[in-house]
Chains A and B, each alone.
Chain A
Amino acid sequence: MTQRNWTTRRDDKRARMAAAEAWLDGKVLERDRVGDALQALIRSGDRVIAEGNNQKQADFLSRALAELDPDQVHDLHMIQPSVGRPEHLAVFEKGIAKKLDFAFSGTQSHRIGQLMMDGTIEVGAIHTYIELYARLFVDLIPKVVLAAAFKADRAGNLYTGPSTEDTPALVEAAAFSGGIVIAQANEIVDDVSQLDRVDIPGSWVDVVVEADKPFYIEPLFTRDPRHITPVQIFMAMMALKGIYAEHGVTSLNHGIGFNTAAIELLLPTYGEKLGLRGKIATNWVLNPHPTLIPAIESGWVETVHCFGTELGMEHYVAARPDVFFTGADGSLRSNRAFCQLAGHYAADMFIGSTLQMDADGNSSTVTTSRVSGFGGAPNLGCDARGRRHATPAWANLAPEGDPLARGRKLVVQMVETFQAGLTPTFVDTLDAVAVAEKAGLDIAPVMVYGDDTTHLLTEEGLAYLYKAGSPAERRAMIAAVAGVTPLGLSADATTTQRLREEDKVRMPEDLGVSRTEATRSQLAASSIADLVDWSGGLYAPPPRFRSW
């Protein structure tokens, strides 16, 4: 009987590392030889992760990857939580890579849509973040991971600090499966004592290289209070009364739009007037939004665990270690995998926005011209059916009278009935359906399914969808708050009246929220400058947000 070789992956890794040895001094790679080293370490058909996080990008390494000779290296299968840089798509246009599995495409959403439609990119699936990480340990085990760090030492220890984000999940998948971990760092130091702290142990990392310039980081979560409209404030007031206070929501995640920024800025003013401090919104899973500063400073917020960081918030976060998760060095430790798990299992509520919703409440941000992916929304914005612990808000949604009844996570969609340019938010069929067909996707990219959506809030009213007795009633409840969109105009006035009487739909007057009260003066901070004042000068906004 021939002896089976049980170490093929390890042997393959050894052979590849030997081929790159000439350009390595220990684990340290000469910057100028990054192309040669990648050519030696990456083979056609490999599964490769180019660390594209929500914010932090391994851009030096992905630029080098895009410079490889497609005759030598081709048909790579790229796996990326986020496709955020032009060079991430260049590898497909040049024929270096063929297949893509991803979660979010942000700034590249238009171009990625085109490349999917014309067949340049073969998309495996558009995932939610932890779903993608999970597959790295099952059926998408990576051969090579290109990661990014602020600092590395010569032994491969990495300091990823406030921008740790996805790095631990991505590196772990390769480091313990015979894969190769290559990290770019803004700076390489000699000894571990020169690192602020160690976020990734050196034994998990095979190659470190000093990047030509610091990795790119995008301030994705800064919302300038100047742009918050009275309609958004009006909806935020309805949300606070009709959802946060109604159900006693203490743990939560907010989407990244102006709608939820308005809620954050109303906590210290309108929320205080309602006497809600300490009763709602105490424990957060959230990036360090600058608009949360006034709520933190006025004692609303007990804790915040972060997916990633936000440019300009470094000093503020470091000065508030009781609130944020920080290391011994004082800086933030973010971790998207844990934060997404927290948002899925431990948060009472997800509240976000969308671009389109159909009559059944299914929603998507995918439109024909734009495939932005989901990020974490599907995982945050769904009921956690594996959940086995109760909190008052969760239990509040349980049907009465059933001894086996369980609660539900609140999944709230907060949308204006019309988008910019007078496009109705409510549509007959989501664009996602046509996109799936054109791009050959197995399933239509729906962000939040209608049956997971427990509340729909528009400027017209609030529908408590979890109270719907039937799918038909659910549709009637959605139509009741859909305003003068075609769907809204189809609503039957008698039915809407009955839904109000049964407390399944509440209009602003039912909630005791007045449109004339919804002014910008309600905001605890009306400008970025105000946020700086609230932070005691600790928040340092990026230049593009400064107006003084």
Chain B
Amino acid sequence: MDTATLIARESFVERGARERVAGLLDAGTMRELLDPFERLRSPWLAEQDIVTQADDGVVIARGAIAGTAVVCCAVEPAFQGGAIGEVGGAKIAGALELALEDAEAGRPVVPVLLLETGGVRLQEANCGLAAIAEIHAAIAALRAHVPVVGVVAGPVGCFGGMSIAAGLCSQLIATREARLGLNGPQVIEQEAGVDEFDSRDRPMIWSLTGGEQRRATGLVDTLCADDAQAIAAEVAAAVAAGPEDPARVADVDAALARLARIDGDRRAEAEWVRDAFQTPTDDGSDS
């Protein structure tokens, strides 16, 4: 890359949630729902002496991408590490449920989820988890009607229950710095021991949960540079692609076959995990 390109390149990751959404939508079409002036704050954080935010760290906006109606749900990574609480979770779940009603009524609206989250907000525990479950259900139902597009871009990554939401998307876009996993490195180290997983061994962590590995194992559909324009182009392509039929995650047999190929006693290493995740082709041999 020449220096002019490098200077012109605008990072997607460096943008806040609202700015990320604005950059994806056609000019002049952004309309925020439940914006900060509605002052929908977390009732739980204040009780724990934690500063709240007027949008609870989630931005919901309607608009269009290349003329197609979309609803963007963006998690703000700078607030509470993007963790999902009751209010923010309900904003996403509600937006997806409204999109489902529209889709069923023949007015398709494509959901675009910008996920940058450590998962449920621990301070809100079950209230956040309940919202995440609603998000899962809504994504699964929506997939029959419209593509559900997910983006995991920044170093916060996407973990916990929200990693399941990412997995349920019909199209998932990630950068190489993004990580995707059910449990974060510290949690795995704490549960399984440092010999199994050293949470300070950064190359090892990214080799297993980073964007490149997740692309190679089929859990991410598109690997993209941290470039606001490039990511917008990938999102637009995914929005235009139409619903996924049949849905990838609906193929339970393939997932079970993959699981069967994993030796649980063996310490995970990038190379053999990639091999085990190869999708068998029709004739039964590994592709």
Contact = CB atoms under 8 A, between A and B. Distances in A.
Interface stretch (B10-18, B42-50, B62-70): B10-18
Given A529-B176, A547-B202, A519 B3 contact: no
A312 to B, nearest CB: 13
B177 A547 contact: yes
Interface in A512-538: 519-521, 523-527, 529-530, 533-534, 536
B3 A543 contact: no
A298 interface: yes
A269 B206 CA distance: 30
Nearest to B155: A547
Contacts of A299: 3
Given A526-B11, A526-B13, A546-B203, A298 B177 contact: no
A195 B15 CA distance: 50
Interface pairs A-B: 8 shortest CB-CB: A548-B176, A298-B3, A520-B14, A543-B203, A521-B14, A526-B11, A548-B177, A547-B177
Interface residues of A, number: 27
Contact of B202 (A272, A520, A546): A546
B101 to A, nearest CB: 37
B6 A533 contact: yes
A548 B206 contact: yes
The contact size tier of chain B is 20 to 34
Given A529-B177, A548-B206, A548-B210, A521 B10 contact: yes
Interface string B1-29: 10100110011011100000000000000
B116 interface: no
A10 interface: no
Interface in B166-186: 176-177
B212 interface: yes
25 contacts: A226-B155, A268-B3, A272-B7, A294-B6, A298-B7, A299-B3, A521-B10, A521-B11, A523-B14, A524-B7, A525-B6, A526-B11, A530-B6, A534-B3, A534-B6, A536-B1, A543-B201, A544-B200, A544-B202, A545-B202, A546-B202, A547-B155, A547-B177, A548-B206, A548-B211
A545 to B, nearest CB: 8
A530 B210 CA distance: 16
Contacts of B10: 521
Interface of B: 1, 3, 6-7, 10-11, 13-15, 155, 176-177, 200-203, 206, 210-212, 226
A525 B200 CA distance: 24
Contacts of B201: 543
Contacts of B13: 526-527
Nearest to A522: B14
A534 B206 CA distance: 21
A536 B202 CA distance: 22
A261 to B, nearest CB: 16
A519 B10 CA distance: 12
A246 interface: no
B113 to A, nearest CB: 22
B208 to A, nearest CB: 12
Nearest to A298: B3
A525 B177 CA distance: 14
A322 interface: no
A297 B210 CA distance: 29
A536 B210 CA distance: 22
B181 to A, nearest CB: 14
A546 B176 CA distance: 11
Nearest to A534: B6
A519 B7 contact: no
Nearest to A294: B6
Contacts of A545: 202
A303 B7 CA distance: 22
A534 B200 CA distance: 26
Contacts of B3: 268, 294, 297-299, 534
A258 to B, nearest CB: 16
A477 B226 CA distance: 43
Contacts of B211: 548
A128 B60 CA distance: 56
A226 B77 CA distance: 13
- Among A299, A525, A526, A547, residue most surrounded by chain B Cβ atoms (within 10 Å): A547
Given A269-B7, A298-B3, A533-B6, 8 more contacts: A226-B155, A294-B3, A521-B10, A524-B7, A529-B177, A543-B203, A546-B203, A547-B206
